[in-house]
Structure 1
Amino acid sequence: MTHREIRSITVKLVNGDLDIPAYLAMPVAETPSPGIVVLQEIFGVNGHIRDITERFAKEGYVAIAPALYQRLAPGFETGYTTEDIKIGKEYKAQTRAAELLGDIQGAIDYLRSQTPVQDNPIGSIGFCFGGHVAYLAATLPDIKATASFYGAGITTMTPGGGEPTITRTPEINGTVYG
């Protein structure tokens, strides 16, 4: 398997008045490419999520991982200790579906501004909390495919309260892999 040479940087997304850092990885060769939004676990955009983002870029995607806790804890990233899990869960409990969707739309808009992506398909992928958020992201018109890995709570809740995220399934236009 041939992996592409990539470049990676932290970029700034906008959702209303909030600037959101996002980790962007893309092939150096600017050929037409699909985009993918990589959605974090409760641990923030840490080394693991940056590695996943880079792996997608090596396979030819323009991949972006927005910092979903930016309004709660700017720059947050952590490891996997019991204390880290506790803190991550506290931030997760404060997220709101509308804010998350706005942040993801900011990532989509950024991807669309990149020459390789422009009119190419965009998907999303997430793990645990990010898997739940990826399922939620699938309701956005630009998301054509979603992979939700162990999307915690999809059938029982939605970030910020309200009907469980699963009830939004009719709003999904793309393909969901879970």
Structure 2
Amino acid sequence: MNAWITLTSADGTPVRAWQAQPAAGAPQRRAAVVVLPEIFGVNSHIRAVAEQYAAEGYLALAIDTFARVEPGVELGYGAADMQRGIALKAAAEALPTPGVQADIEAAVRHAGAASGGKVGVVGFCWGGLLAWRAACAVDGLSAAVCYYGGGMTNQTESARSARVPVLAHFGERDHFIPAAGVQAFAQAHPDAQVHLYAADHGFNCDQRASYDAPATQAARERTLAFFARHLGA
């Protein structure tokens, strides 16, 4: 059954999360995927993403990465929502260390215990950046997938070192993440799998004008194969 649950971070902060359970008839896996949302919160799109992984047999957990600044945010994709999401992200990024990472750690612990197996993380936009940071710092992860991770290709973020296998998806037409930065990131991290698609930022979201079905399908196939390989399921 899919439902909202509440996790508790190490410092006692409550964190809402949408937990999607593998449905009857899904592949039998002992593994989990933590989903890190865009700047729009755990909205209907992100819940659907979690449910897609559950349909593949994973326990999936989409967490509220704004829990420490404004719990329960669910935004759409209009201009006003975009501006509000940008402001919320700035507030979350300004939190004292470890900030949102503590909530990701709580999600990974819960997901591992609930599934009885390995845990991967997948993030989109700001969530892609958080997934990259998690790959470099969060214990208990076995793989990380980053979709158009905003900021992860800059010099500071690229200087981090991943502790688990990383797969990264980017769009060639993404004006937020220049292709030159993607190429530099790929050169700095030759062990990471980095793919460029003929698509724009947010190409995986079917609620956005930038949605691109062929890029979404190709990235999904690569992601599922990557998780199957590294989560041992």
Q: Which amino acid aligns with 1:24?
A: Q
Tell me the distance in 1 between the aligned counterparts of 2:159 and 2:98: 15
Residue in structure 1 matched with residue 166 of structure 2 by the alignment: 176
Tell me which of 59, 70, 73 is aligned to 2:70: 73
Residue in structure 2 matched with residue 101 of structure 1 by the alignment: 101
Q: Which has the higher contact order (CA 8 A, sep 6+)?
A: 1
Normalised TM-score (structure 2): 0.65
Q: Which amino acid aligns with 1:166?
A: S
How far off is 1:94 after superposition? 1.5
CA deviations 1:117-144 (Å, max 9, x no partner) are 22x2110001111110110111212111
Q: Retained in 2: the 8 A contact 1:141–1:173?
A: no
SS at match of 1:141: coil
Q: Retained in 1: the 8 A contact 2:31–2:112?
A: no
SS at match of 1:13: strand
Tell me the distance in 2 between the aligned counterparts of 1:124 and 1:34: 11
SS at match of 2:2: strand
Any unmatched runs of 5+ in structure 1? 1-6, 158-163
Tell me the distance in 2 between the aligned counterparts of 1:92 and 1:175: 26
Determine whether 1:23 maps to 2:18.
yes
23-32 or 125-134: which moved more?
23-32
Tell me which of 151, 155, 158 is aligned to 2:149: 151
Determine whether 1:43 maps to 2:33.
no
Higher strand residue share? 1
Tell me the distance in 2 between the aligned counterparts of 1:12 and 1:111: 12
Tell me the distance in 1 between the aligned counterparts of 2:109 and 2:166: 21
Tell me the distance in 2 between the aligned counterparts of 1:65 and 1:77: 12
Tell me the distance in 1 between the aligned counterparts of 2:48 and 2:40: 14
Determine whether 1:55 maps to 2:52.
yes
Q: Which amino acid aligns with 1:13?
A: L
Residue in structure 2 matched with residue 12 of structure 1 by the alignment: 6
How far off is 1:99 after superposition? 1.4
CA deviations 1:17-40 (Å, max 9, x no partner) are 210100000114695421111000
40-49 or 94-103: which moved more?
94-103
Q: Larger C-alpha radius of gyration, 1 or 2?
A: 2
How far off is 1:71 after superposition? 1.3
Tell me the distance in 1 between the aligned counterparts of 2:158 and 2:103: 20
SS at match of 1:27: coil
Determine whether 1:134 maps to 2:126.
no
Where has structure 1 moved over 4 Å in runs of 4 or more? Answer: 28-32
Percent identity over paired residues: 33
Tell me the distance in 1 between the aligned counterparts of 2:128 and 2:139: 18
